[in-house]
Amino acid sequence: MTGNIRAPLREVIARHGLSASKALGQNFLLDAQLLDRIARVPGDLRGASVFEVGPGPGGLTRALIDAGATVTALERDHRCLPALAELGDAHPGLLRVIEGDALAMPLADVLPEGGHIVANLPYNVGTALFTGWLSGEAWPPRWASLTLMFQAEVAERIVAAPDSGAYGRLSILSQWRSEAKIAMRVNRAAFTPPPKVMSAVVHIVPKLAPEGVRAGTLERLTAAAFGQRRKMLRASVRGVPGALAALEKLGIDATRRAETLSVEEFVQVARELG
Ligand code: SAM
DSSP-assigned states of every residue in 6-60: SPPHHHHHHHTT-PPPTTTT--EE--HHHHHHHHHTT---TT-EEEEE--TTSHH
Do residue 268 and residue 138 come from a single domain? Answer: no
Find the 103 Cα to ligand 1 centroid distance in Å. Answer: 12
Ligand 1 touching residue 120 (CB < 6 A): yes
Cross-strand pairs, 149: 120, 201
The answer on 134 and 56 residing in a single domain is yes
Q: What is the pLDDT of residues 135-184, one digit of tens each?
A: 999 999 999 999 999 999 999 999 999 999 999 999 999 999 999 999 99
What is the domain range of residue 241?
215-273
Is 100 found in the same domain as 202? yes
**pLDDT at residue 2 tops 70:** no
- Is residue 21 one of the residues assigned to a domain? yes
| In a shared domain, residues 169 and 255 | no
Q: How many CB atoms lie within 10 A of CB 8?
A: 10
C-beta of 217 in contact with ligand 1 (< 6 A): no
- Atom number of ligand 1 nearest to Cα 149: 9
- The predicted pLDDT at position 108 comes to 95
> Count of domains in the chain?
2
DSSP-H helix ranges across the chain: 9-15, 32-40, 59-66, 81-90, 123-134, 152-159, 169-175, 215-227, 233-236, 243-250, 263-273
126 lines ligand 1 (CB under 6 A): no
**pLDDT tens per residue across span 212-246:** 999 999 999 999 999 998 999 999 999 999 999 99
Dihedral through CA 7, CA 11, CA 17, CA 20, nearest 10?
Answer: 100
Note whether 176 and 228 are same-domain residues.
Answer: no
**124/181 same-domain check:** yes
